[in-house]
Amino acid sequence: MNDESHLRSIIGDFSFFKNLPDTDIDFLLTSAVIRKYSKRAFVFTQGNPAHYFFIIISGWVKAHNMNAKGDQSAVHLLTKGDVLGVDTIFDRGSYLSSAETVSDECQMLEIFSETLKEQARISPELAEKLLGLLSHKIKEMQVSDACSVLGDSSRRLACLLLRLSSWMVGKGGTLKLPYEKSIAALQLGMDQATLSRALTSLSDLSVTSKCREITINNFSRLSEYCCVHCPIPEGHCAGRRIPSEKRPQEN
Amino acid sequence: MNDESHLRSIIGDFSFFKNLPDTDIDFLLTSAVIRKYSKRAFVFTQGNPAHYFFIIISGWVKAHNMNAKGDQSAVHLLTKGDVLGVDTIFDRGSYLSSAETVSDECQMLEIFSETLKEQARISPELAEKLLGLLSHKIKEMQVSDACSVLGDSSRRLACLLLRLSSWMVGKGGTLKLPYEKSIAALQLGMDQATLSRALTSLSDLSVTSKCREITINNFSRLSEYCCVHCPIPEGHCAGRRIPSEKRPQEN
DNA sequence: CGAGTGGTTGAAGAGTGTCAAACAGTGTGG
DNA sequence: CCACACTGTTTGACACTCTTCAACCACTCG
């Protein structure tokens, strides 16, 4: 399979390209490449000029800022279908955060920023797609902000587990944490030791763990434990599992 | 002065309308009104359908989420020139947070969402303006996220003071806090009592206060105290006052 | 004057960060 | 096969910051 048809077969999955006119897709792909990264590779670094934006094809990427002493903040974890760096194109021109892979076999679709910007000027559909994308990103930031004020560390961890398991159906199940616990601790803004203790304390809510395999026996019980304190309104957080009779209606 | 010319005289100041074609402005203003709010009025409430977006003409507005128990989170404070609710138009259709005025004499320019969306589809200039606006909002959220991990409460307060005084020139000066200290505490994610103590502790850095009048005698000294711990790269935070030759080396 | 609001201060306790040691899993090399 | 190093994680002890709750103060307004 040649590069061109390989690209096309992959992008069919991604919501970014859904409902975009073929002319837009064709034009964007003229400058697009797929690049592979190993674990702990930097995709880009804060402060550097932003020539590309990225769509994650596989793997997990940590977007973060780092101060002079190496402390990290504003850690967001992104995966398949998520987008990196669009916000730089229309405001800054340099990356505000760094992006570093935290899993093996990360693949990114990389598109030249100027191409995107150019095409957005002549395609209302692309422009609207990007507006939706940025709006969605703002929403996600608000959701993860909300998690960080949920109260104690156990509740914040519970919130993360619920969001990571939002694709799972049924009453409970086992989840493989897609990245290291120390990374999850960064994401939650707590110390690694605190996360470890928080996970232990969740055994009261029948959450058990063995290495990175975390078993949640009762999603709705966990959800009642933390989502009750969450300020995000109904229907905006996929993690929430409070049984439907307890909330008005969900879509 | 009639409504129409009054509107036009006001919007000249706002970056939102800068470099927009007259046709766009004309069309947007067909549905625009200016509304006044007294202190502690809700502009909109989380979860409600988003029919309007807002440009703040004067006053300060607190955007926040509230959980079932009344605890607030994700508090952002906005003022003249800032925009409320654009992100809802292209992603959700309902407000994710609530907006409440926190100062007297708040005036908002209110534009019907559908009008904006419609016009953005046919005007590349407007679409690009909105893309820039959303990108900028993402940046601001990242900056305020960064503030919240600056370490202890004194440093977080110092960060806020520097950002609020970023328009001031010279070595130091006196700033009138534009909203109540309890609101600032919410914004910084700390208790009101903690903020009060933090402000006292900043007297070591010759920051003094009398009610809402806060005097900072030495911006760059304050900046060295907190910005050194900040992960936001050079040139992205208006609050930073560290002379540029000093930055590279630390610790 | 009393009531109401915004802010300060004090004492006590909970929750976290820090530091350090210990442990488990993996890969390497003899 | 074991010894060893290396990394990721857990656990314990301790210090410290922040929240909580309370009383109190300063100021405004009827």
Mean pLDDT of chain A: 91
| CB A43 under 7 Å to nucleic chain D | no
Q: What is the pLDDT of residue A2?
A: 60
pLDDT of residue B183: 97
Convert the pLDDT of each residue in A157-208 to its tens digit.
999 999 999 999 999 999 999 999 999 999 999 999 999 999 999 999 999 9
* Residue in B151, B158, B150 with CA at minimum distance from that of residue B209: B158
CA distance B117 to B126: 10
User: Which of B50, B225, B75 lies closest to A142 in space, CA to CA?
Assistant: B75
- Looking at the predicted structure, is the pLDDT value of residue A113 above 90? yes
Residue B185 tokens read as 């505490």
Check residues 211 to 250 of chain B and report those whose beta carbon is under 7 Å from nucleic acid strand C. Answer: 211-212
Per-residue DSSP letter, A62: E
DSSP-based three-state secondary structure for B215 = strand
- A45-58 average pLDDT score: 95
pLDDT for residue A246 is more than 70: no
Tell me how far CA of residue A191 lies from CA of A186, A187, B239, in angstroms.
7, 10, 28
DSSP state of B41: -
B135/A88 Cβ within 8 A:
yes
Instruction: Name, in order, each residue with C-beta under 8 angstroms of B206's C-beta and a sequence gap of 6 or more.
Output: B172, B216, B217, B218, B221
Q: Which nucleotides of C are covered by protein (CB under 7 A)?
A: 6-11, 15-20, 25
Write out pLDDT tens, residues A123-139: 999 999 999 999 999 99
Distance, CA of A206 to C1' of D6, in Å: 33
Q: Are A228 and A221 in contact (CB under 8 A)?
A: no
Instruction: Enter the tokens of residue B182.
Output: 């309890």
For A87, the closest of B89, B92, B139 (CB atoms) is B139
User: What share of chain A has pLDDT > 90, as a percent?
Assistant: 82
Task: Give the span between the Cα atoms of B164 and B92, in whole angstroms.
Answer: 31
- The answer to whether residues B138 and A134 touch, using CB atoms and an 8 Å cutoff, is yes
Q: What is the mean pLDDT of each run of 10 residues along chain B (251 residues)?
A: 75 90 93 93 95 96 91 90 94 92 94 94 95 95 91 96 96 96 96 97 95 95 94 92 60 36
Nearest to A122 among B124, B136, B250 (CB): B124
Question: Confidence class of residue A248 from pLDDT cuts 50, 70 and 90?
Answer: very low
- Biggest distance spanned by C-alpha atoms of chain A: 56
Residues of A in contact with B142 (CB under 8 A): 65, 74, 96-97
DSSP line for B134-171: HHHHHHHHHHHHHHTTSSSHHHHHHHHHHHHTTT--SS
pLDDT in tens, B128-155: 999 999 999 999 999 999 998 888 999 9
How many angstroms separate the CA of B176 from the C1' of C3?
28
Among A16, A106, A14, A13, residue whose Cα is nearest residue A58: A106
A89 touches strand D (CB under 7 A): no
